[in-house]
A and B are shown apart, each in its own frame.
Chain A
């Protein structure tokens, strides 16, 4: 079996996530789209790990998941903090960070 379907699915998932980051206004939905992009890269990593018969890609995917969890924790704390300050979580409203 060829590896092309997995890589195409990864590219498609990454593209959907990127378009979501560019289009959506809600900061939490932007976070979800970032998670989609990270999952796409994980899929490519695991595919290449399987192609080469080695574990390094899977370990890298595991590390990406852990870093993504840390990123979500800090990012959601920042979003909740911004919401408390200005009663909005639209990314357009937070274009000026201080005011």
Chain B
């Protein structure tokens, strides 16, 4: 058993266990903190797959920004920490959907891609990629790919980010203005 396989199995056990905790814990803040563990373990899987740039972007965006945003939303909405009613009543349907989803995905992914070799040692003659295999996944090669071949998608994504920023400001700010107008109208009458 190779060392990277050992690391992968440890990370996969950590990923699955913490993902189950995200789904099953009744306390929402605990769910957010277990989500940090899950995302960090997936970032470790990316590192095992020699995707350094994606791993560090995962740590920066997900662990650094998204989870903090989720925690802010949890505090803004002051979610009740009670255990009653944390899960919905459709558990049998969800269990059936989960089993069927995993069955289909596992069968397709394992039988459809059975013979493919995941070569983590990166011999150059077996990897027919454009970039030299010893630097697949580092920041330089990914940056070159983004800003040459994928530059149009990158620009579209920047516009999407701007639209999301403006949209979030509009959606979350409109209610406060309406409340202020109602308060002013109520004070005037």
Is the CB–CB distance between B113 and A4 below 8 Å?
yes
What mask results when residues 43 to 83 of chain A are scored 1 for a CB within 8 Å of chain B, else 0? 11011011111111011011101111111111011111101
Is the CB–CB distance between B88 and A58 below 8 Å?
no
Rounded to whole angstroms, the CA-CA distance of A71 and B72 in the bound complex is: 16
Given A1-B120, A9-B45, A73-B145 contact (CB < 8 Å):
no
Contact among A2, A49, A53 with B51 in the assembled complex (CB-CB below 8 Å): A49
Which of B23, B58, B95 has the most chain A CB atoms inside 10 A of its CB? B23
Contact among B50, B77, B113, B163 with A79 in the assembled complex (CB-CB below 8 Å): B77
* Chain B interface bracket (under 10, 10 to 19, 20 to 34, 35 or more): 35 or more
What mask results when residues 16 to 29 of chain A are scored 1 for a CB within 8 Å of chain B, else 0? 11111011111011
Given A10-B109, A13-B15, A35-B35, A73-B164 contact (CB < 8 Å):
yes
- CB neighbours (8 Å) of B168 from chain A are 73-74, 76-77
Dominant SS among interface residues on chain B: helix
The number of residues on chain A lying at the interface, defined by a beta carbon within 8 Å of a beta carbon of chain B, is: 73
Is the CB–CB distance between B97 and A55 below 8 Å?
no
Given A65-B62, A69-B61, A74-B167, A24-B23 contact (CB < 8 Å):
yes
- CB neighbours (8 Å) of A42 from chain B are 42, 46, 54, 58
- The reply on B184 being an interface residue by CB < 8 A is no
A-B CB proximity, top 8 nearest = A53-B127, A53-B129, A70-B164, A20-B23, A11-B105, A22-B94, A19-B98, A15-B102
A16-B16, A77-B172 known; 17 other A-B pairs, CB under 8 Å? A1-B118, A4-B109, A5-B12, A15-B98, A16-B19, A19-B95, A20-B22, A22-B98, A28-B79, A49-B136, A52-B127, A53-B128, A55-B130, A55-B142, A69-B164, A73-B167, A78-B171
Binding site for A on B (CB under 8 A): 2, 4-5, 8-9, 12, 15-16, 19-20, 22-23, 28, 31-32, 35, 38-39, 42, 45-46, 49-51, 53-54, 57-58, 61-62, 65-66, 69-70, 72-74, 76-77, 79, 85-88, 90-91, 93-95, 97-98, 101-102, 105-106, 109-110, 113-114, 116-120, 122, 126-131, 133, 136-137, 141-142, 145-146, 150, 153, 157, 160-161, 163-165, 167-169, 171-172, 174-175
A-B contacts, 20 listed (Cβ < 8 Å): A1-B2, A3-B113, A7-B109, A13-B19, A20-B23, A22-B88, A23-B90, A35-B39, A39-B38, A44-B109, A46-B46, A47-B49, A50-B49, A50-B51, A66-B160, A69-B161, A74-B164, A74-B167, A74-B171, A77-B171
